[in-house]
């Protein structure tokens, strides 16, 4: 039996939080922690580093890009995959998100099946490679 994999979801919208919580509850071995501000999300990540971070872009206080900068600047957190979860979905915003260092960019409302496939992919990648490879971030993805 695989140990619980930890996901941190930073999201200020309670409807989105509860939807993701319900979806992740369908998957065995995933433990989700939620933060409603970027500041709280960074603090929780530092106290108990997760295996994957789901990060809203439009947050009160620090926005998702600022939170991502804080994660990438922290030696203990920088190799954790971070998936942007946002309603901001223009081509320019997607490009900005990938340039900023997000591993993946999912738009809301999201397709539940695709969401679960992406979550599993990044959880598997992180548990398999540990701290060894951040180079995997450069792989192009299909599907």
Domains delineated in the chain: 5-111 (3.40.50.2300)
Estimate the crossing angle of helix 64-72 against helix 91-100, to 10 degrees: 20
pLDDT, residue 126, reads 61
Q: Is 59 helix (H, G, I), strand (E, B) or coil?
A: coil
pLDDT in tens, 64-97: 999 999 999 999 999 999 999 988 777 888 888 8
pLDDT of residue 91: 82
pLDDT average, residue stretch 40-62? 96
pTM of the model: 0.84
Distant-in-sequence contacts of 92-100, Cβ < 8 A, 24+ apart: 96/65, 97/57, 100/65, 100/68, 100/69
The rounded distance, in Å, linking the Cα atoms of 132 and 117 is 23
| Structure-token pair, residue 131 | 């701290």
CA nearest neighbour of 51 among 12, 4, 86: 4
DSSP assignment of 108-133 equals: SSPPHHHHHHHHHHHHHHHHHHTTS-
Report the Cα 53 to chain-centroid distance in Å: 3
- Dmax over CA atoms of the chain, in Å, equals 42
Query: 29 — alpha (psi -120 to 50), left (phi > 0) or beta?
Result: left
- pLDDT at residue 125 tops 70: no
């Amino acid at each position: 039996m695989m140990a619980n994999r930890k996901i941190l979801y930073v999201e200020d919208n309670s409807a989105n939080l509860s939807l993701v919580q319900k979806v992740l509850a369908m998957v065995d071995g995933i433990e989700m922690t939620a933060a409603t501000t970027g500041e709280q999300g960074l603090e929780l990540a530092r106290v108990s580093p997760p295996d994957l971070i789901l990060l809203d872009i439009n947050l009160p206080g620090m926005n998702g890009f600022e939170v991502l900068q804080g994660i990438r600047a922290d030696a203990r957190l920088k190799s954790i995959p971070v998936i942007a979860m946002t309603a901001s979905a223009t081509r320019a915003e997607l490009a900005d998100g990938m340039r900023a260092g997000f591993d993946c960019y999912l738009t809301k409302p999201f397709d539940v099946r695709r969401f679960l496939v992406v979550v599993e992919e990044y959880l598997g990648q992180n548990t398999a490679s540990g701290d060894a490879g951040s180079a995997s971030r450069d792989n192009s993805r299909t599907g």
